[in-house]
Structure 1
């Protein structure tokens, strides 16, 4: 009943909020303003926008555009400099940068990003239709390493690989052993439950690092993706993610003796995080109230920190909070799972 009726409804609701184009879900634009502008048409366009302040204290211009073909869209223009615009792109807070020149507008975005292309089409059409004079527009494709969609995607895939590796590699393996009565043979041995479970962790983590470096090598060769930050920071946050999902995996498999139930529990935990945690698209597409919850998910914390090391140049200090959170979560859940673990 859950997988055939409730789960599809929940997924439709979640993805619908992110991609239906609802005017209540604005598109954030990094705006680089010209200090010596003669571009009166765009200034008039901004003057008709409302000035607001977000929860972080940042001021932005809010503008709603109605388009007969493309529907209604709301845009939030965040004034910033070039470095700030790049930072917004890297963090997934913006898909498109609008740079104001004295006599033209420059749209900067990744042409392989469908969200950015749609935002450009709607925004450019709205600016041209609203003004009495035509505003010259120029498109500059993003080619800088660190600002492309592939740079956003690969760190997310590394985090996703950790989650799937440990939830399926530990949880399902343990449940399958219990279902097949293999664990009964271990009861008579002097081996402790903690040693048994820790052995699964070391088996999976060795494979996780191999899988991660294969993906990193592939991405480096084909897409020239570079790790801008510290390798030590990457190791720490990657290890913390392994610990966190080990704890989750052990807790899931601690009592379950039915493979169907186990598969359902793994999917209930993994699939929502796969959709919501910013692996394939920015979770900032969701309403702010939901974003606050998404940011607390283990996969979100892991993906955001790996992404910060890869494309923002983060070091050990920057990933330390996320490392502590994930490590603590893993140790607590592992301890609970160990205490309630049953052999058969």
Structure 2
């Protein structure tokens, strides 16, 4: 009889929390619509096109007989699509294999060139000294480096094209190599973390601050049922959100899951379990929502920056990589990304699955031990 009552009680709690989420338009927007909009925006912005347009600021090129001015007047073409005070000249390097590269040139002064550089509208500034072109750019910017290499070849009369002397280039068009293929698994992992941390932690802290936990624990409610119901609803919500994100990006960008579906579900559930356990631990004691905000941000912000969601964590110093790889969000993102893009199977993600599950169980047990119901 007690087991039947307990099961019925758990089901009623799950239904109650589900209805609470469905009735909140903000939850649906931030959980479902916003990640899809983010993936669409970033996917469109960073999906490389075959043809590339690069913009260059030209300074002091008005003197007669200078090589830069001679190039603009004789080699470059007027650009009729822009205003007279914008990028007036264009020059295209044709390339059937790698795609055409078009340079747009704008004559300006140093002050305006600095503004354009800081706004990201240009990445190379072209001047002239003693009859020779000078190139000003950030050597740490790979786009600026490539612009310099091609532009210097053009001004020297040797347009940089595909090197025919060293063999023919065969461009790779493999699945899983685009930025959107890198981004979507990271968004799935980040969304699971944010949903668990804010949905569970803040929800519990808010209920505690409003004395609702005290009222609920005064009823014949099993305490673990309350927490399990909270976690279960978030798990289901996260699964729906992730499935819709994958569906939309598959329709728009054609992303594919190259590995094991069972492995993907396993690592996804393990990641949700890990962050749900951490969420219970973070919200186990405080009743102050401001302190709760700080604790949640203390957990999510560092991982969101360093765990390779929007860019590879291998950009960080080598000594930090082993530490970053041990973070829960990193393990979850790497596991999902490996299944999506590298074709990993269930056995390949066994270790991160075990570690993430252990993290979830450990922090859930620890949080339950210190959980404050009033």
**Band of TM-score, shorter chain:** 0.5 to 0.7
Indicate if the aligned counterparts of 1:229 and 1:315 stay in contact, CA closer than 8 A.
Answer: yes
| Mapped partners of 1:256, 1:142: distance in 2 | 53
Distance 1:177 1:316, change over 3 A: same
Matched, 1:241 2:271: yes
Aligned residues: 234
SS at match of 1:256: coil
Q: Normalization by structure 1: what TM-score?
A: 0.63
Matched, 1:333 2:359: no
Matched, 1:185 2:252: no
> In the alignment, which residue of structure 2 is the partner of 1:159?
189
Indicate if the aligned counterparts of 1:228 and 1:310 stay in contact, CA closer than 8 A.
Answer: yes
> In the alignment, which residue of structure 2 is the partner of 1:26?
none
Indicate if the aligned counterparts of 1:171 and 1:252 stay in contact, CA closer than 8 A.
Answer: yes
Matched, 1:227 2:257: yes
Distance 1:194 1:119, change over 3 A: farther
> In the alignment, which residue of structure 2 is the partner of 1:314?
344
Distance 1:328 1:121, change over 3 A: farther
| Mapped partners of 2:278, 2:200: distance in 1 | 10
Name whichever structure is richer in strand by fraction: 1
In the TM superposition, residue 194 of structure 1 has moved relative to its aligned partner by: 1.8
SS at match of 2:136: coil
In the TM superposition, residue 172 of structure 1 has moved relative to its aligned partner by: 0.4
- RMSD, matched Cα: 2.6
Deviations 1:317-344 (A, max 9, x none): 1111110010000000000000000101
In the TM superposition, residue 225 of structure 1 has moved relative to its aligned partner by: 0.3
Unaligned runs of 5+ in 2: 1-133, 164-168
In the TM superposition, residue 290 of structure 1 has moved relative to its aligned partner by: 1.4
In the TM superposition, residue 209 of structure 1 has moved relative to its aligned partner by: 0.6
Indicate if the aligned counterparts of 2:139 and 2:145 stay in contact, CA closer than 8 A.
Answer: no
Distance 1:118 1:153, change over 3 A: farther
Distance 1:121 1:193, change over 3 A: farther
Matched, 1:69 2:99: no
> In the alignment, which residue of structure 2 is the partner of 1:194?
224
Tell which structure's C-alpha radius of gyration is larger.
2
| Mapped partners of 1:334, 1:309: distance in 2 | 27
| Mapped partners of 1:238, 1:291: distance in 2 | 23
> In the alignment, which residue of structure 1 is the partner of 2:180?
150
> In the alignment, which residue of structure 1 is the partner of 2:101?
none
Distance 1:71 1:197, change over 3 A: same
In the TM superposition, residue 188 of structure 1 has moved relative to its aligned partner by: 1.6
> In the alignment, which residue of structure 2 is the partner of 1:262?
292
Unaligned runs of 5+ in 1: 1-66, 74-114
Indicate if the aligned counterparts of 1:193 and 1:338 stay in contact, CA closer than 8 A.
Answer: no
> In the alignment, which residue of structure 2 is the partner of 1:299?
329
1:24-35 correspondence runs (5 A)? none
1:122-161 correspondence runs (5 A)? 124=149, 136-137=161-162, 143-161=173-191
> In the alignment, which residue of structure 1 is the partner of 2:60?
none
